[in-house]
Structure 1
Amino acid sequence: MSTYGTGLVIGKFYPPHAGHRHLIEVAAAESERLFVIVLGSRFESLPMEDRARWLSLEFASCPNVQVLFQADDCPVDYQSEEIWKAHVELMRLALKGVGVGQIDAVFTSEMYGHQLADALKAQHVVVDPERRVYPVSGTMCRDDLNVAWPHIVEPARQGLATRIIVVGAESTGTTTLTRSLMEHYRSQFPTIGDVPEYGRLRTYDKLDELRSLNPDSGVEDLVWTADDFSHIATRQNELENAAASQCPLVIADTDSLATVLWERRYMGVGSFGAAEAAGNLPRRDLYLLTDHEGVDFEDDGFRDGEHIRADMTEWFKDALASAGHSWVLVTGSHECRMATATGIIDLILEQRSEFTSPPWATRTVLTGAVV
């Protein structure tokens, strides 16, 4: 039986991490209804809507948890009654918007918790103020996403990961470029995961299955279906998301959008097996499209598309442009392609790792160290 009727948790959740999850879990277990308010400032680079959505996904299985978000550009001054009133009124109106007029308990790990609880005429429940259960803070996460990555909640990892997708027609150097980029960034991101071209792996499996019946079968004897491409596209998304779960940088050798074009290549324009998975693409940072020009076609026994390479390159350009994706054609020698790719990726990584904060924001100190 719950101890309190209506509970409240507030915070920036910038970004949401395991300590936040623990606080909300404790509060949810002790409240019949729990409201979590994400307070976001215009001076912060991560939209509060994203933070609220990630927390909602994290607690989707908890029906008594409702996540709200509220813009709060008021300065922080714990000694000012006037400033406190300004903050509390924002929270009160956020709760009023969902029909809540009274809070029974405020759950925090912060020293300001009793002031907030008093202002809301609620009881203050302190949860792990020394962060011993999960020694992590938002400051730590913002300072070094790479180190803090395992502590960030899974939906936030999916949303925060920098995703670089390498695509191109058959035998245009996509796998070569992907592997070189992964090796280039491995020292900076030791946990970077492999995201192979699942369609090629599926081709190997289908050919093995066919040869078990007819040993003389070749790749030209394979029969593809829309279900094949649905499976390939779905699995490609899964591989990409698994890599995002383990590392803040993902470099993928193709994706489900490319699977749509391969389906068109083998099935014609009337087949849509990959469409659903491609319609649920995670956020992209950059597509690198490998140029067919200047790359010799290598027939490794599984390729048969030399005659259509130029057309497919154009298909990719059309698809990426019409979908509004950021994309760069990488052309020239392998060294030129690497220089182009790393030049833009480095800038993206720098941009994605910057978390801005208002001048009154404080840094959380854990166990005597500023993290």
Structure 2
Amino acid sequence: MQEIKKIVIIGPESTGKSTLSKTLAEHYQTLWCPEYAREYLLQNGTNYSAADLLTIAKGQLELEDVYTRKVQEENKCSVLFVDTDMYVMKVWSEYVFGTCDFFILDTIIKRKYDGYLLCNIDLPWVKDELREYPDEKPRQELFSIYKDLLINQPVPWSLISGTNAERTTAAIEATNQFLQLSK
């Protein structure tokens, strides 16, 4: 089986992560792993607990594994774009509940990725049935938390800002660099 390079797209809600994941997958003619939490919350409601976040985290990992196998089986480009990882689960858990399950923390250490794309909060917040933080202060707080996490871990990362077109260009450039570094 070919080794799959994984690029994670993270950041606060409504920063274009899913749009960027889809665009990058199209550009590289591969797949992207969607965010499991959206499906879960749409089915189970938005009144969630810390235990629900653990269920969501495990669902995200299973979904990522499914998409990794699909990329391998379909002989796509050996890259998978991942919309959300355990860093997102950690931030979400700690921000909402003030704690994070050890399963999530242990998985952060064990799972390996080849690059992170951090989506900036410079896009306008767009309301949908799942989003919780329309105000600027929590968006800035969450963005700072993500940035601090990435600064203090060893995997290369890049800040993605600007219009959707500018984000796509910057993300492609960063992804190409990540793929060169991981050879």
Gaps of 5+ in 2: 72-77
How much has 1:261 moved relative to structure 2?
Answer: 0.7
Q: Tell me the distance in 2 between the aligned counterparts of 1:347 and 1:305.
A: 33
- Partner of residue 202 from structure 1, selected from 18, 33, 40: 40
Contact 2:9–2:119 at 8 Å: present in 1 too?
yes
Give the TM-score normalised by structure 2: 0.85
Q: For residues 93-108 of structure 1, what are the structure 2 equivalents within 5 Å?
A: none
How much has 1:346 moved relative to structure 2?
Answer: 2.4
Cα deviation code 1:54-99 (max 9, x no counterpart): xxxxxxxxxxxxxxxxxxxxxxxxxxxxxxxxxxxxxxxxxxxxxx
- Flag the structure with larger Rg: 1
Q: Tell me the distance in 2 between the aligned counterparts of 1:309 and 1:232.
A: 22
- Partner of residue 87 from structure 2, selected from 254, 257, 262: 257
Query: In structure 2, what is the equivalent of residue 16 of structure 1?
Result: none
Query: In structure 2, what is the equivalent of residue 270 of structure 1?
Result: 99
Cα deviation code 1:193-228 (max 9, x no counterpart): 331111121111111xxxxxxxxxxx4xx1x33321
Number of residue-to-residue matches in the alignment: 174
Query: In structure 2, what is the equivalent of residue 331 of structure 1?
Result: 161
- Partner of residue 114 from structure 2, selected from 285, 302, 315: 285
The aligned amino acid for 1:177 is L
Query: In structure 2, what is the equivalent of residue 73 of structure 1?
Result: none
% identical aligned pairs: 25
Q: For residues 195-234 of structure 1, what are the structure 2 equivalents within 5 Å?
A: 195-207=33-45, 219=46, 222=47, 224-234=48-58
Query: In structure 1, what is the equivalent of residue 60 of structure 2?
Result: 236
Cα deviation code 1:3-60 (max 9, x no counterpart): xxxxxxxxxxxxxxxxxxxxxxxxxxxxxxxxxxxxxxxxxxxxxxxxxxxxxxxxxx
Query: In structure 2, what is the equivalent of residue 178 of structure 1?
Result: 21
Matched, 1:300 2:147: no
Matched, 1:341 2:171: yes
Contact 1:233–1:277 at 8 Å: present in 2 too?
no
Q: Tell me the distance in 1 between the aligned counterparts of 2:108 and 2:38.
A: 17
Contact 2:156–2:178 at 8 Å: present in 1 too?
no
How much has 1:184 moved relative to structure 2?
Answer: 1.1
How much has 1:344 moved relative to structure 2?
Answer: 2.3
Greater shift, 332-341 or 228-237, is seen at 228-237
Contact 1:264–1:271 at 8 Å: present in 2 too?
yes
The aligned amino acid for 1:163 is K
Query: In structure 2, what is the equivalent of residue 315 of structure 1?
Result: 145
Matched, 1:245 2:69: yes
Q: 1:200 to 1:332 in 2, by over 3 A?
A: same
How much has 1:232 moved relative to structure 2?
Answer: 1.4
Q: Tell me the distance in 1 between the aligned counterparts of 2:79 and 2:100.
A: 33
The aligned amino acid for 2:41 is T
Query: In structure 2, what is the equivalent of residue 210 of structure 1?
Result: none
How much has 1:330 moved relative to structure 2?
Answer: 0.4
Higher relative contact order (CA 8 A, sep 6+): 2
Contact 2:4–2:80 at 8 Å: present in 1 too?
yes
Q: 1:351 to 1:314 in 2, by over 3 A?
A: closer
Contact 1:291–1:329 at 8 Å: present in 2 too?
yes
Q: For residues 131-142 of structure 1, what are the structure 2 equivalents within 5 Å?
A: none
CA RMSD in angstroms comes to 1.9
How much has 1:351 moved relative to structure 2?
Answer: 5.5
Q: 1:169 to 1:180 in 2, by over 3 A?
A: same
Question: Secondary structure of the residue that 2:101 maps to in structure 1?
Answer: coil
The aligned amino acid for 2:56 is I
How much has 1:334 moved relative to structure 2?
Answer: 1.1
